[in-house]
Amino acid sequence: MSSEVLRLTSQIVISHASMTELTPQELVEEIKEVYNVLTAIDGGAVIPELAVGPGAEAGELKKPPVPLKDIVKEKYVVCLECGKKMRTLKAHIRKAHKLLPKEYFKRFGLDPKKYPLVCKEYSEQRSKMAKDRGFGERGTHHKAAKK
């Protein structure tokens, strides 16, 4: 069964490493941790519930699974919790991860102005729609309501 544990360890680590930037030391530690957990499970040991990340619940910053430069793109925004690509994240992080935007930004140490929860295309589309309705122009907010 040892070869099966090694095979599973490599699959898990390869999958995680493809989504996360790891230093060589972090990669070695990840291999050891995954192998030890799988070996313990294979031996019948009961594993206590694992934390999402080191100190994630203690208020420490979690390391984003993708490079920060790849989070906000033209047509999508990447959720740092699960890696999904979406046009807007606010409802997703609230429903899927039970996080408020403020908590999400704090968890990953992100600046909300630099890393918005909507993609660039969607933001521009909404901005154009608001301007077409006359919002944002001085003294015109009543005109849009009267039409």
**Which residue did the predictor score with more confidence, 18 or 36?**
36
Q: How many other β-carbons are positioned within 10 Å of the β-carbon of residue 136?
A: 10
> Does residue 94 share a domain with residue 141?
yes
- Structural domain harbouring 46: 1-50
> Does residue 70 share a domain with residue 15?
no
> Does residue 17 share a domain with residue 63?
no
> Does residue 141 share a domain with residue 75?
yes
> Does residue 43 share a domain with residue 27?
yes
pLDDT for residue 144:
52
Number of domains in the chain: 2
Model confidence at 139, in pLDDT bands (50, 70, 90)?
A: low
CATH number at residue 69: 1.10.10.1550
Distance between CA 124 and CA 31 in Å, rounded? 43
Across the range 110-130, mean pLDDT stands at: 91
Of the candidates 109, 114, 42, 34, the one whose C-alpha atom is nearest the C-alpha of residue 71 is 114
pLDDT for residue 34:
86
Domain closes at, from 9, 30, 50: 50
> Does residue 30 share a domain with residue 93?
no
Write out pLDDT tens, residues 47-99.
655 544 444 444 567 777 777 888 888 999 999 888 889 999 999 999 988 99
Model confidence at 140, in pLDDT bands (50, 70, 90)?
A: low
Mean confidence (pLDDT) of the chain: 80
Of the candidates 77, 138, 135, the one whose C-alpha atom is nearest the C-alpha of residue 104 is 77
Question: What's the distance, Cα to Cα, between the start and end of the chain in Å?
Answer: 73
pLDDT for residue 54:
42
Of the candidates 42, 50, 47, the one whose C-alpha atom is nearest the C-alpha of residue 6 is 42
> Does residue 80 share a domain with residue 14?
no
As given in the structure block, the two tokens for residue 79 are: 């959720």
Of the candidates 62, 64, 56, 50, the one whose C-alpha atom is nearest the C-alpha of residue 20 is 64
> Does residue 141 share a domain with residue 73?
yes
Write out pLDDT tens, residues 31-47.
988 888 888 887 766 66
- What percent of the chain shows pLDDT beyond 90? 22
pLDDT for residue 124:
92
pLDDT for residue 3:
82
Distance between CA 91 and CA 105 in Å, rounded? 14
